[in-house]
Structures are given as structure tokens and as C-alpha cells.
Chain A
Amino acid sequence: MSQAVIIDHVSKNYGKIKALRNINLEIQQQEIFGLIGPDGAGKTSLFRILTTLLLPDEGRASILGQDVIRDYKKIRKIIGYMPGRFSLYQDLSVEENLSLFAAIFGTTIEENYDLVKEIYSQIEPFKKRKAGNLSGGMKQKLALSCALIHKPEILFLDEPTTGVDPVSRKEFWGMLRRLKDYGITILVSTPYMDEANLCDRIGLIQNGELLSVNTPEQLKSEYPNRLFAIHSEKKYQILQSLKGYENTHSIFSFGDEIHYVDKRKNAIPEVLENDFNGLDLPEFKLKEIQPTVEDCFLELMQQK
């Protein structure tokens, strides 16, 4: 397989703010690549450079062998782009939006119907409705249909699931996996760490820097520490106490549990339990767990 996207030492500044610092990345064809990072990490800037909407200050990037600066016209014919903000015409109906975007790319709904069928069929009952009156999940489905209608070779999805309910999010990712079978390369960004597992490979990005590029499995297997989950009724009190504890390497609140890493690499649960009891903590349960992508991300951030 050859590279769909090559990013070579790309940097981008907005005034004094460094949005992207020396990014190097290669994305294979037919892969779902996830760009994972918090808001303001530089995801959108990178997407805009790849979709020829922004010029990088330094470095080069190419899409299927076409340079993003020189060959922007060619690239604009072969990509599908769905920006983070809902960017369709709110006063046009679902059907009018889709046929407009089909026409802009010189095709028709009928021609590529089978590609969008699965997604579009879900919103087709509402095809006479104005796009502005759709629910969040339906808007995303319409936007994806519009980005797909010309059968792009690479699909850029900038935070497609932000603000979408969990059921629709799950459906959405199901659709992306099936699009892969049509030979489409997908570059998707998301602030949700749980969605990382659904990608073939992920890049963790923070403050404009790529911290790591790996498969989700590999990333988790390379996690350097033993990780413990602490359950307690009085979570907050434990969190506060352990933050000041001398052997704490890192401690984060994770939903209804606490993820804890000890400085002593070989600490086992029994030893920790014993130590913690000496700290006069409220009642708790402790067990060793496997790291999630988020744990890896937090660990990488701490190393920085």
C-alpha cells in the first residue's frame, strides 16, 4: 500500500501562537487515521492545510502525490471535507443540499447513490425538511452524505461526532468502517478518546505537537507503567490526599474511578493497599487494570 497523505515538517503559526510544530506524518491508503487531541491542539489547522485551505508556514504536505500548495486544484477534486462546524445551507432542504454538492463536484445523487445509501437512507424520510431544522445527529449524517456524494478518494472529517448523542456516534463510526471497504482513506479528528479504538491508527496531538503515532493496541501495550483503579464513595477526598503522596507518579479522575500510577515501577496491589491504609484514607477498593488510550495520552503529556 502507498501513502495517501505525506506531511513533512509542517509548522503553522498564528502570530505568536504556534498552532503546529514540525509535524511529520504518513497516512496509508484505505486506512482510518484518527487525530486525537483536546480542543486547541491544532487538529483543525492541520486539516485545513491538508484540504488546501491554509498555507503551512514551513514544511510540505501532499495528498496522493499532489502538493497541497502547488496542486491545490487537483486536490480539491479528489477530497471530501466535512468541517467541524455544520457547514451546509440551513435554508435548503436535505435533498437540495445533497444535490447541490453533487452538482458542485460534477456528479448526481443517482450516480453515487449506493455509496451514501446507507447513511442517506436514514435521513431520506426527512428529505423535504430544511437542513437547519434537523437534529444534531441527522445534520452530521447529511454533512457526511454531502462530503461523500462525489466518491472522494480521501475523506477529511473534522470532529464529526462533537455534539452528537452516543447512539448516533456509534452508528457514525459503523458507517466509517464500512466506507473503508469502498477504498476510501479516512482522516478523522476527535476529542473523544474512546473513539480512538475504532481507528486503524491514531496520532495523539497536543499543543501543536504530535506526541505519538501508533495503532491503538500497540500504543496501549507500550504503556510503561502498572496502572491501578481506585473505587471509593469518597473519591474526591482520596484524590486530594494522594496528590500530595510522595510515591504518586500520576493520578487522574476517570469517571467514577481514579487511575493511579506509583513511582515504584514494581508496586503490587497488596503493597499499595498496605501503604494507603497508613495514609488514613476513607474506605476504597483497588485493582490493577489495563490502560486506555486516554491513560496513554495523559502519560505522554506528563513526559513532556
Chain B
Amino acid sequence: MKRFYAFVKKEFYHILRDYRTMLILFGMPVAQIMLFGFAITNEIKDAHIAILDPSKDHETSRLNEKILSSGYFILDKYLNSPGEIESVFEEGKVKIVVVYDEDFGRKLLKNKAASIQIIADATDPNTANTLTNYISAIFQDYVQSQNPLAISPVRVIPEVRFRYNPDLKGVFLFIPGLITIILMLVSAMMTSISLTREKELGTMEVLLASPMKPVQIIVAKVIPYIILAFIISIVILLLGYLVFKVPVKGNIALLISEFLLFIITALSLGILISTIAKTQQVALMMSLMGLMLPTIILSGFIFPVENMPKILQWISYLIPAKWFITIVKGIMLKGLGIEAIWKETLIILGFTLFFLIVSIKKFKIRLA
């Protein structure tokens, strides 16, 4: 036991003395939360708009006023001819141009119909889509207010409610995703690197020729990383709660046990990598390519898995992170209990056992 304790202590020394890595490990999640929470958002404010208004009448000026007072748009300039549209887009600042029909107001009164053209810079399709939707809504609203009596015989008024995340905050989705990625990074990547470092520096040779059992070496090596990963995930949770009001609706003890389970899953993956990789470099590449990339892309963290080709969806079933994100979202945002997530938990448990057994089988008691 003393032998084991001394080895754990030594592992802590390694981690704590590598202050640069520590800084990255703790700084990265904080920076990412701040980025996702504050900077990266799907809402658009103050988009630059240009308006071509040949008719310049009462109707168009009221419409313009409505657009510019909506808070979403800033007037860049009024255009004088259709030829300027091209050049104003080329300058790049203007994202959307509104073009009124000639004699807009007169046509509207006389024919009860007039056309408006909305031209958007679609180099960023999402922004273009959002902006045109905003403008269309403004026009719709205007038409409605002009003809309050023009009511169709049947009226359907949808009342929309967004459950679990009423304000549609992106950070609600990012916190569970971020916890998943950080746990993967700290547990899998760091353990695989620290185990291969022993091989690369030759210290594994001395350890193997000592009475230390392989299982002792491994367990002593991962304990500090379990603690570290655990602390970091709690920090993320707290940050999410204190800064962005991301709630934990479910049982906190259940959530933390799921964290621990996933930490062990990631650690077992890290150990597995270290039994294959001979150098730290290879271990790093394997963790990044083999673990991080699929975790980010196929876990549903950023891209919805449901919209992917069938084959990618099947592959995503093999990614523990996908199941973990489902669990964390369920507990945090929906307040689900174990009765709703036991299936996902069992799947992760299965993965973990499989990885652990394979890596213990593969761990060598000799050099070659």
C-alpha cells in the first residue's frame, strides 16, 4: 500500500510541476465557456443594411423606419440605382439589401399588391437566412397592421413554447458538450501521454524490473487524472450555473456518478492507446484523431446526428461520448432520473468494461 501511495504521489508531482499543461487544462474550459456563452451565438444584431427606394413615398419610409428601429439592422446607406447593389456587396460590410418597387405606395393602394426584393449576402448561409427571415417578418407585421379588418374566415394562431431552454441559449447545449470533451481530453489524452512517456524515457524499463505489478502501475497512474478531471468538470458546471444560469434540474448525485463513470471510460481508452503507442507523439495523434475528432463531430455536440447519412449514424452509436451527452443533457436540462437514462448508462458501462479488459490483456509485463 505504501508502494502504491508513493507512486500516486509521484504522479501528482509530474502533473503539478508541469504548470503549463495545468494552465491549459484549467484555462481551456473556462475560455471555451466564455466564448460559447458570450461570443458565439446564433442571434444577429446590428447587421448592415442598404436600401434602394426609388419610390420614396409615405409607405416606404414607414417601412424603413420599422426595419431600422427593430434593433437588428443598421442603415449603411440609401442606394440610388440598381447598379450600386453589386458594389455595395463587394465592399463586404452590407449583408442585406432591400429593393422597393417603383411607385411602391401607389401600387399598394391601387392594386393591393406591391413587390419588394430582398437580396442577401449568402457567403454565410445561416446569417443570410436569419436576416431575410427577420425582414420578412417585419413586412408581414406591417401588412397585418395596415389591414386589421382583412381577416380570413379561419384564423390559426400558433403559440410557440420552447421547453427546457425557453430563451434558446446556445450555452445550454454547450455546457454538456464541453464537459464531455474536457473529460475526454484530460482523462484519455493525458493518461495515454503520461503512460507512453514512461516508455519513451525508459523509466518503464526500471518499473517493469521492479516488484510493481502492472495493475498497480496503471491504477496509481490514473488516480490523479480521475481527481483532476472531476475537479474540472465541477468547475465547468459551476461556471455554467453562476455565469449563464445553466440549471441542473435533475439529481446532482446522479449527475456526478455519471461523470465518474465517463471519466473511467475515457481513462480506459487512454490506457488502451498507451498499450499500442510507443511514443508520446503517437499517443497524442491517436487521442486527437481517434478520440477527439469523433467525439466532437459524431456526438451531437455541434452537428445533429439525426441529419447525417445512415452510416455515420451507425458509427456514432460506437462513440461513448454520444451516449454521455444524452445523459448529461437529460439530467441537467430535463431533470430526468435514472429510470430514463439507465439504457445509456449501461451502454457506457459496457464500453468501459470492454476497454479495460482489452487494455489489461494488452498491457505487457515485459518490454517486447
Task: List chain A positions with a Cβ less than 8 A from chain B.
Answer: 48, 51-55, 72-73, 76-77, 79, 81, 83, 85-92, 96, 99-101, 103-106, 146
Contact = CB atoms under 8 A, between A and B. Distances in A.
Given A72-B365, A105-B211, A91 B18 contact: yes
Interface residues of B, number: 25
B6 A103 contact: yes
Given A54-B366, A54-B368, A86-B202, A81 B209 contact: yes
Nearest to B206: A87
B367 interface: yes
B164 to A, nearest CB: 46
Contact of B205 (A53, A72, A96, A100): A53
A90 B197 CA distance: 12
A48 B367 contact: yes
B209 A104 contact: no
A83 B368 contact: no
Contact of B10 (A54, A55, A89, A105): A89
Contact of A87 (B6, B7, B14, B201): B201
Contacts of B13: 91-92, 96
Contacts of A89: 10, 14, 203
Given A76-B210, A92-B10, 13 more contacts: A52-B209, A54-B368, A73-B211, A76-B211, A81-B209, A87-B202, A88-B206, A89-B14, A90-B201, A91-B14, A104-B3, A105-B3, A105-B211
Contacts of A91: 13-14, 17-18
Given A48-B367, A89-B14, A103 B2 contact: yes
Interface of B: 2-3, 5-7, 10, 13-14, 17-18, 201-203, 205-212, 365-368
Dominant secondary structure of chain B at its interface with chain A: helix
A53 B209 contact: yes
Contacts of B202: 83, 85-87
B367 A104 contact: no
29 contacts: A51-B209, A53-B205, A53-B366, A53-B367, A54-B366, A72-B365, A76-B208, A79-B209, A81-B205, A81-B206, A83-B205, A83-B206, A86-B202, A87-B201, A87-B205, A87-B206, A91-B13, A91-B14, A91-B18, A92-B13, A96-B10, A96-B13, A99-B6, A100-B6, A103-B2, A103-B3, A104-B7, A104-B207, A105-B210
Contacts of A103: 2-3, 5-7
Contacts of B210: 76, 101, 104-105
Contacts of B208: 52-53, 76
A13 B209 CA distance: 21
A104 B365 CA distance: 16
Nearest to B366: A53
A130 to B, nearest CB: 9
Contacts of B7: 100, 103-104
B214 to A, nearest CB: 11
The 9 closest A-B pairs by CB, nearest first: A103-B6, A87-B202, A81-B209, A53-B367, A85-B202, A51-B209, A87-B206, A77-B211, A83-B205
A85 B198 CA distance: 13
Contacts of A85: 202
A89 B201 CA distance: 8
Contacts of A54: 366-368
Given A53-B366, A96-B10, A100-B10, A106 B3 contact: yes
Contact of A76 (B3, B5, B209): B209
